[in-house]
């Protein structure tokens, strides 16, 4: 893991600016800092391993991450330079698969290139003007430059404050900061003569659905996942694995144990409260494939103190409380001497693992005229997944189809305005109108299910999770690896028909079949999905409640003008009532987590000298 920074400018101050950026990015324990000046550019790298950088005359490249198909003897950075010299960067990227962010400067044409991997595993931000382009792995390095304002996007603040975490990354080209852009996944940037050009070098495209027999498709899925795990294992010495109660992390761990011929070290977050504790569901996979199995017990953490640490690592608010548990888990992984952490991110999106995907699956069945099968699938969905709070019925299925899909246009999903606007009253009416925001819903496929998964991969669930994973892993000296986000595997799974991903009310059908003999039957046949989460509902009703109220009652909070204060206090009180009485209604832990994160992030900005006069900042 590493951090990149650099800039193009004709001003001689570029050397000092680069040093300042690297100083902001570098962790105290990192032993390597590399920099190189060439022409009008200065590029830098910092990390705890030998620098992934290369120079060949007028060409220089710095790289964060790995290519999984490059000749390792040459080094990944040298491979990039060689391919660039042969045919340019777009052609080079088409030939390489990996998790990476890179910067390449060509002094012959005085051109700076930036590029990011296909799924956004590694981060890259930039700020541009006709006189300067600067880039870095985190916004903080760019905020350290003169002329870069810490002013944040009002709509980002509003969406995070009172909407749902899925919507804060709806624009892949934006960061939370007005003056800082994010290079989207699968894009490259060219900066020449003061002009910025950003283009896509790869995208998922509609392709004919596979008609191969199901047994053969399961075998192909198994082979591709094994290959993805193998390629990533080759880039690490002391790997560890996250393990929850679901199929995704269990599949990655099982593949690794199979490939290496012995059990692997695995880490799981466990809780006293049974709501989100998956100990029982993890036990069979741990017994088969984990040694040692570390159970990281999370009891009653100091939530405000930990959130303050997290926003200082992230440079922005953290998506969900899941990542508090992940951070505590990562601390234990690093303390025991491991250098990387494998997980199952991407598995839900690619294998139809989210509960909400059922509606889009139903829409695909209706589109194809499979009415008898649709009837049966709805019945099985009700039988397997009805819940006292989240009810399942024929009426609920029909309402979901009316609300979330356009059956007149194949594949067109509609935004969940109910979820988007649930907490709209939290916002002060003078700050922002959530009613005016409609999230983009790209639909490159004819399948509703594929489009919903595509939206999650590139705009909703995955970007915020990858960012949290990467920030926290980097801070603790770990490389994150996500085998499900292998291009070959992703392209294959987007050709698998929807009816092979969900079968008779059970998600991840083809993955379950593919993992037969690898993942233990108790896990492979488990129907209920809990999802990796933490019991923040209890914390916000008890141990963290007073701290939350102190924050809400503070002058700084009230003067920001973001929230409707009366509604904030009402929600905090209502949440406590729901949890204390065990009422069968949805509690408010998600939005209270967001409120705490947002205010502590803004205070982090204040503490770094980024305070803005009232009305000019947030």
pLDDT digits (tens, 9 = 90+) for 499-530: 999 999 999 999 999 999 999 999 999 987 76
pLDDT at site 276: 83
pLDDT of res. 409: 95
pLDDT score recorded for residue 531: 63
Reported confidence tier of residue 613, pLDDT bands at 50, 70, 90: very low
Which regions of 48-148 does DSSP assign to beta strands (E)? 53-56, 59-67, 98-106, 111-116, 125-129, 132-136
Whole-number pLDDT of residue 612: 45
> Residue 530: its pLDDT value, please?
61
Instruction: Spell out a b/e string for 232-246, using b for 16 or more CB atoms within 10 Å of the CB, else e.
Output: bbebbeebbbbbbbb
**pTM to 2 decimal places:** 0.96
The share of the chain scoring above pLDDT 90, in percent, equals 90
Cα–Cα distance, 22 to 4 (Å, whole number): 8
The pLDDT of residue 279 is 84
Mean pLDDT for the stretch of residues 36-44: 96
**Domains of the chain with bracketed CATH:** 2-200 (3.60.20.10), 214-293+306-350+459-524 (3.40.50.620), 355-448 (no CATH), 536-610 (no CATH)
pLDDT band at 70 (very low <50, low <70, confident <90, very high): low
- 10 Å CB burial of residue 395 (0-12, 13-18, 19+) is exposed
- Model confidence pLDDT, tens digit, residues 390-430: 899 999 999 999 999 999 999 999 999 999 999 999 999 99
Predicted confidence (pLDDT) at residue 579 exceeds the cutoff of 70: yes
At residue 278, does pLDDT exceed 90? Answer: no
The Cα 101–Cα 120 span in angstroms is: 9
Tens digits of residue pLDDT in 79-121: 999 999 999 999 999 999 999 999 999 999 999 999 999 999 9
Distant-in-sequence, close-in-space partners of 375: CB < 8 Å, separation ≥ 6: none
Kindly state the average pLDDT of the residues 578-592: 95
Q: Which helix (H) or strand (E) holds 150?
A: none
Contacts of 274 (CB under 8 A, 6+ apart): none
Tens of pLDDT, residue by residue over 219-253, are 999 999 999 999 999 999 999 999 998 999 999 99
Task: Tell me the per-residue pLDDT of 313-350, one tens digit each, with 9 for 90 and over.
Answer: 999 999 999 999 999 999 999 999 999 999 999 999 99
220 secondary structure, DSSP code: H
- Mark 377-390 as b/e (b = at least 16 C-beta within 10 Å): bbebbbeebeeeee
Query: What local confidence, expressed as pLDDT, does residue 69 receive?
Result: 85
């Amino acid at each position: 893991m590493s951090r990149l920074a650099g800039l193009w400018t004709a001003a001689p101050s570029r050397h000092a600016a680069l040093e300042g950026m690297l100083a902001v990015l570098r962790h105290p324990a990192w032993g390597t800092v590399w920099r190189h000046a060439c022409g009008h550019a200065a590029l830098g790298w910092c990390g705890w391993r030998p620098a992934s950088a290369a120079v060949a005359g007028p060409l220089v490249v710095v790289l964060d991450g790995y290519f999984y198909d490059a000749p390792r003897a040459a080094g990944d950075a040298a491979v990039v330079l060689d391919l660039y010299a042969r045919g340019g960067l777009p052609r080079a990227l088409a030939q390489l698969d990996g998790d990476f962010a890179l910067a390449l400067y060509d002094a012959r044409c005085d051109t700076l290139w930036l590029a990011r991997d296909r799924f956004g595993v590694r981060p890259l931000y930039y700020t541009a003007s006709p006189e300067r382009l600067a880039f870095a792995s985190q916004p903080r390095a760019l905020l350290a430059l003169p002329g870069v304002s810490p002013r944040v996007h009002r709509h980002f603040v509003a969406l995070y404050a009172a909407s749902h975490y899925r919507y804060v990354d709806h624009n892949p080209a934006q960061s939370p900061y007005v003056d800082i852009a994010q290079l989207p996944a699968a894009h490259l940037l060219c900066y020449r003569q003061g002009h910025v050009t950003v283009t896509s070098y790869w995208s998922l495209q509609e392709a004919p659905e596979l008609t191969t027999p199901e047994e053969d498709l399961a075998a192909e899925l198994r082979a591709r996942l094994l290959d993805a795990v193998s390629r990533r294992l080759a880039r690490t010495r002391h790997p560890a694995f996250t393990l929850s109660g679901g199929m995704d992390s269990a599949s990655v761990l099982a593949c690794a144990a199979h490939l290496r011929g012995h059990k692997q070290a695995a880490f799981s977050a466990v809780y006293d409260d049974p709501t989100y504790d998956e100990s029982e569901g993890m036990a069979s996979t741990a017994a088969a494939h984990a040694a040692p199995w570390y159970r990281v017990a999370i009891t009653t953490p100091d939530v405000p103190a930990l959130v303050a640490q997290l926003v200082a690592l992230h440079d922005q608010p953290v998506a969900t409380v899941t990542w508090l548990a992940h951070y505590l888990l990562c601390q234990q992984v690093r303390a025991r001497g491991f250098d990387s952490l494998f997980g199952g991110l991407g598995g839900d999106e690619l294998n139809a693992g989210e509960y909400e995907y059922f509606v889009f699956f139903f829409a695909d069945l209706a589109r194809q005229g499979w009415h008898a099968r649709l009837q049966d699938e709805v019945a099985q969905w009700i039988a397997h997944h009805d819940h006292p709070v989240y009810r399942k019925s024929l009426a609920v299925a029909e309402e979901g189809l009316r609300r979330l899909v356009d059956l007149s246009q194949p594949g067109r999903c509609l935004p969940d305005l109910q979820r988007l606007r649930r907490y709209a009253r939290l916002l002060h009416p003078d700050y922002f109108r959530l009613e005016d925001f409609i999230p983009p819903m790209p639909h490159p496929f004819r399948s509703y299910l594929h489009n919903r998964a595509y939206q999650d991969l590139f705009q909703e669930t995955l970007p915020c999770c990858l960012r949290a994973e990467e920030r926290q892993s980097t801070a603790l000296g770990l490389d994150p690896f996500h085998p499900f986000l292998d291009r070959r595997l992703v392209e294959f799974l987007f050709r698998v028909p929807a009816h092979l991903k969900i079968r008779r009310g059970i998600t991840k059908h083809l993955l379950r079949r593919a993992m037969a003999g690898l993942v233990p039957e108790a896990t492979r046949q488990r129907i209920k999905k809990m999802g990796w989460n933490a019991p923040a509902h209890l914390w916000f009703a008890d141990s963290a409640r007073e701290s939350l109220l102190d924050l809400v009652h503070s002058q700084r909070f009230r003067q920001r003008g973001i929230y409707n204060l009366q509604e904030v206090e009402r929600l905090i009180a209502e949440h406590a009532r729901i949890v204390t009485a065990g009422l069968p209604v949805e509690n408010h832990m998600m939005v209270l987590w967001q409120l705490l994160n947002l205010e502590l992030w803004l205070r982090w900005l204040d503490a770094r000298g980024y305070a803005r006069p009232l009305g000019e900042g947030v």
